[in-house]
Amino acid sequence: MAFLASSASAAALLPFSRIFGKKQNRLCPGYSTRLRAGPSYLSKFRTPTFGSAATGKTAGAVREISQADRRPPIYSWPRNKRPRVCILGGGFGGLYTALRLESLVWPDDKKPQVLLIDQSERFVFKPMLYELLSGEVDAWEIAPRFSELLANTGVEFFQDRVKLLHPSDQWGTNGPKQSSCGGTVLLESGLIIEYDWLVLALGAETKLDIVPGALEFALPFSTLEDAYKVDKKLRALERRKFGKDSPIHVAVVGCGYSGVELAATVSERLHDRGIVQAINVETTICPIAPAGNREAALKVLSSRKVQLLLGYFVRCIQRVSDVEASADATGIRESQDVAECNSEKYVLCLQPAEKGLKSQILEADLVLWTVGSKPLLPELEPCDKRHELPLNARGQAETDETLRVKGHPRIFALGDSSALRDSTGRLLPATAQVAFQQADFAGWNLWAAINHRPLLPFRFQNLGEMMTLGRNDAAVSPSFIEGLTLEGPIGHAARKIAYLIRLPTDEHRFKVGLSWFAKSAIDSVASIQSTLTKVLSGS
């Protein structure tokens, strides 16, 4: 296979060469003087071909490189003359952009080679993570492997993390005259990806470092790993408290959609064995939600005796054992009987955000954090100012209405990575619905850019809002019927159907649909049997 990088594109890699020559240990601590065919993690997927930037020979066999001539391995794309699209992030934005590119009709010589990179081996349908805690869905249904989803497509997948980004498209749409290369991406494995077009869809992570103690003692709930950790912790608490009078105390910080859905799910799971307390700095829950969804959520939380602490923010979180050591100095021992608590309990100090409220001290066996997030955009290769991406205060890339990053016509950004405003000037929310719609436009606009056609401006269409409130409860407010809210079992069914339709591929959708239908049938039979047993026993 011919080596990919031309002399012009190799010039774009010089900054990486300088870094690896002087600061090699910082970027790639395990990098050896022996260059092998590829990192071990790639063995699970289709094996790429690497090349040497110094000689242009493929690295199919082990060979020695001199200390001065060391270069990071470069991914060799299968077809040299086809456009190269690199997508960073495999969430709703990244995966659905890749699938959209695959579904479009391309001229034979223009169909792009697509490479999808994500740090996880699974795509996660995040709006249904709560159903993992309730046991309503299985992990494979909402977190299928990328290798399975992309098996019948031309999209390549690498499981890796992004280290550095070096864009080189600031000369214009076609890049420098001697090369069409849009830039390079350095992965943590040491592999360099040279691209013509780049899609930033890396999502965001929960921001825990805004309150002392949150990073050490609170659990976020935004990834599959987070859901596993919370479920494991709840199982441990359920076993430890089984048969005892002391209930499980769970504190949920934040009462936006995520916090309310989490509080409703956990309170239903624990029933009378637990007490859930939800804390919010606002004086209401879900302040930006439709009134119907908010009212339905309030009814459910009230029926499950979830304690709402509104108008408070968390000042700090401490382990009980640490509080005991300094109790005499802080006076907390007088307000809480912490002597009976063990080291697995935590203390939350609440500060009032509204006048007329008093500070409070809460104890919890488990603290769940749903407040704040930060985008996961990669660092830029340190060189001159021309390569910088325009970022807003939250760290999101500023884009034009076609989803292209301002000043970088070969880079698209969407989802949490993008800062895009609607027609009223408001920043679009970082929701799955927005990312899903942006992926459709990003795929089309990549097609248009590659084929030299006009790009379409993105227009978000709010289809409504949905939230889960338990195993057989939800609230759905469609935008096309003003004032309508579907609650209870009807809302629950409508939400599951809507999400089933949005699963990534037809094959996966079919498998999940069959699984959900079978579970529903079993639950219905069990419910009928339970009803008949009660009737017969009563007679």
Read off the pLDDT of residues 409-426 as tens digits, 9 standing for 90 and up: 999 999 999 998 887 788
CATH number of 84-125+143-171+178-204+374-451: 3.50.50.60
Alpha carbon 464 to chain centroid, angstroms: 21
Query: In one letter, which amino acid is 523?
Result: D
CB atoms within 10 A of CB 78: 14
DSSP letter for 211, please.
S
Angle CA(226)–CA(229)–CA(231) in degrees, nearest 5?
110
Pairing of strands 34-35, 113-118: unpaired
Distance CA 474, CA 370 (A): 19
Query: In one letter, which amino acid is 73?
Result: P
| Extents of the domains making up the chain | 84-125+143-171+178-204+374-451, 464-501, 506-538
Q: What residues have CB less than 8 Å from 337, skipping those under 6 apart?
A: none
- pLDDT tens per residue across all 539 residues of the chain: 333 333 344 444 444 444 444 333 333 333 332 223 333 333 333 333 333 333 333 334 344 444 445 677 999 998 878 999 999 999 999 999 999 999 999 988 889 999 999 999 999 999 999 999 999 999 999 999 999 999 999 999 999 999 999 998 764 444 444 346 889 999 999 999 999 999 999 999 999 988 999 999 999 999 999 999 999 999 999 999 887 888 999 999 999 999 999 999 999 999 989 999 999 999 999 998 999 999 999 999 999 999 999 999 999 999 987 766 665 544 444 444 433 334 489 999 999 998 889 999 999 999 999 998 888 888 776 655 556 788 888 889 999 999 999 999 999 999 999 998 887 788 888 889 999 999 999 999 999 999 999 999 999 998 999 999 999 999 999 988 888 999 999 999 999 999 999 999 999 999 999 999 999 888 888 778 877 887 777 65
**Model pTM?**
0.81
Check: CB of residue 297 under 8 Å from CB of residue 469.
yes
Pairing of strands 418-419, 397-398: parallel
